[in-house]
Amino acid sequence: MTAQIINGKQIAADMREELKAEVAKLKKQGIVPGLGVILVGDDPASKSYVTAKERTCAEIGVYSDDNRLPADTSQKDLMALVKRMNKAPEINGILVQLPLPKGLNEAEVLLAIDPAKDVDGFHPINVGKMMVGEKAFLPCTPHGIIQLLIRSGVTIEGADVVIVGRSNIVGKPLANMLIQKQPNRNATVTVCHTRTRNLAHHTRQADIVIAAAGRPNTVTADMIKDGAVVIDVGVNRVDDPTKKKGYRLVGDVDFEAVKEKASLITPVPGGVGPMTITMLMYNTIESAKRAAGLAK
């Protein structure tokens, strides 16, 4: 058996076309979804990510308020910018790119964002709503993973799912989302981590394995049962002198070996990654619809 590749790049492109059509309809009603972006400092990865978000805004038709601030920006000035965006009617979503430079209080900044504009889904109010099953902005990467599964025809309801990783960005929210008593959820979820005894024992029982540990080769072929679905969230740099940059990107899964046992698998890159920005756009458009009284 050789696994079918889940093409996250194509699924994200399909979703963006759907969102583009939705934005066009909203604009006919005088509604232009707007995303406020704050980048502090010049971290290369953050700059690249923010640039990609701005490019996606332009592609879909979302207004982007781009704010790039120097690394020595004060907490006071950063908070003032967030508060301005909270009040700005043209801004439906606020994104503060993390990590912030040393000396800035990330928790204080995230708490200052209006929960109604928290399109990253990190505000404690939205996290709480998500946990009890109320309507809330869902964190983008976990929501993107669920969309990948649904759009690839994977049955989530009743499935045994093992998540390897317990971060606040992926592992914890994804586990909570998958156990909700809702359509395309209702899974039985096990969360594993660095203190898990005999990780392979758990992963071998799973219909769906989601690797989000941040370490190459965390999941190997002997840890997967035949026909399992494998979602690789990891993005790791490994040295590769054959590449122009001197490195290549790999996930948390031993892709070449695992794809010979799995039924479906995501590659790295081109799997989960493209979905994160797509779901950010989804949340921003949803926020604009809520502000206009159009959300279901």
Helix (H/G/I), strand (E/B), else coil: 251: coil
Q: Which of 27, 28, 29, 53 is catalytic?
A: 53
User: Mind listing the pLDDT tens digit for each residue in 207-231?
Assistant: 999 999 999 999 999 999 999 999 9
Question: What sign results for the dihedral spanned by CA atoms 279, 284, 287, 289?
Answer: negative
What is residue 246's predicted lDDT score, i.e. its pLDDT? 84
- Pairing mode, strands 4-5 and 247-250: unpaired
What is residue 278's predicted lDDT score, i.e. its pLDDT? 97
What is residue 141's predicted lDDT score, i.e. its pLDDT? 97
Complete domains list, the chain, with CATH: 30-114 (3.40.50.10860), 140-272 (3.40.50.720)
User: Mind listing the pLDDT tens digit for each residue in 5-20?
Assistant: 999 999 999 999 999 9
Q: Give mean pLDDT, residues 141-169.
A: 97
User: Is 72 part of the annotated catalytic residue set?
Assistant: no
Can you give the length of the chain in residues? Answer: 296
What is residue 285's predicted lDDT score, i.e. its pLDDT? 98
The helix (run of H) or strand (run of E) holding residue 178 is helix 171-179
Q: Which of 117, 118, 120, 147 is catalytic?
A: 120
What is residue 25's predicted lDDT score, i.e. its pLDDT? 97
Sheet holding 93-96, edge to edge: 63-69, 34-40, 93-96
User: Mind listing the pLDDT tens digit for each residue in 160-194?
Assistant: 999 999 999 999 999 999 999 999 999 999 999 98
User: Mind listing the pLDDT tens digit for each residue in 78-135?
Assistant: 999 999 999 999 999 999 999 999 999 999 999 999 999 999 999 999 999 999 999 9
**Distance of alpha carbon 293 from the chain centroid:** 26
Q: Which of 97, 118, 207, 261 is catalytic?
A: 97
User: Mind listing the pLDDT tens digit for each residue in 228-271?
Assistant: 999 999 998 888 888 888 888 899 999 999 999 999 999 999 99
* pLDDT > 90? residue 35: yes
* pLDDT > 80? residue 1: no
Is pTM beyond 0.75 here?
Answer: yes
User: Is 10 part of the annotated catalytic residue set?
Assistant: no
User: Is 205 part of the annotated catalytic residue set?
Assistant: no
